[in-house]
Structure 1
């Protein structure tokens, strides 16, 4: 039995296959530096998988990025990029301390998750929200090819199924 409550989240209005992924500009953070990047420019270089996680200090974010690194997602044909409601400083520290080979967009206002319909308010914290765990595969034109969005907290996908589902043509 987990040492925490599993919470069913309100329904999400997440991205649907065939829809256009919202464009945004945010700091894209590595363990060494960050710079403002827009999703349209990033995606134009090829298929992209956006990985929305709660704040980088959470066990959910750590578990997800550990799993993706172990499975070699940084070697996929699609670029794998995170989105977190954390600051660039927190993300840079998180990436450096864990030696993750990924980049993560800093979205401390949580506006990107809101535009994707996957934001949720933290229990007991008025006005504080974060993204629910979600994976969104988009092509070079920002068309959503596939998406998986958590329906409860915490919830993790079946990664074997997810890998197949998110493969871009």
Structure 2
């Protein structure tokens, strides 16, 4: 089958791994009705967090990832004690529209400068677009101390997590 896109192998990354403490950050956290600057620490203080790095809103990988998470009910039906949040380069306005279009009740961090992606060593420069960086797809499951309990990071673009594997870890947090 011919693909309408090129598969790109991504370079090695020094992202947080299991047993390490995930970096804290503060960014606008967008929900269905409003957004406010929120730190990752504030979320983990409330319990475990699934932090999902993804490409910009509207790109097919973002749609695919969030449809899968929504349809599986992560943080709602499955692993209801886990707060599921996303993070991408999209603005709060784009996040608000994306949440409405996907009919999702999740919240999404806005990181348009990809500074958080750089902290996690997940910044990916887009080919042929000078100065445009997006987030490499990744999933981190964090406990209340921001300790990484599970990590998956894409090794190529596009690449998607093994949702069954992630889900088994979500339900065990």
Alignment TM class, shorter chain as reference:
over 0.9
TM-score by length of 2: 0.94
- Is 1:93 aligned with 2:93? no
Take 2:169 and 2:12, find their aligned partners in 1: how far apart are those partners?
21
1:49–1:81: 8 Å Cα contact kept in structure 2?
yes
Correspondence 1:23-42 to 2 at 5 A = 23-42=24-43
Take 2:168 and 2:13, find their aligned partners in 1: how far apart are those partners?
23
Take 1:54 and 1:9, find their aligned partners in 2: how far apart are those partners?
14
Correspondence 1:69-84 to 2 at 5 A = 69-75=70-76, 76=79, 77-84=81-88
| Alignment match, 2:22 | 21
Count of residue pairs the alignment pairs up: 169
| Alignment match, 1:109 | 113
Q: In structure 1, the residue corresponding to 2:36 is in which secondary structure?
A: strand
Gaps of 5+ in 1: none
TM-score by length of 1: 0.96
| Alignment match, 1:126 | 130
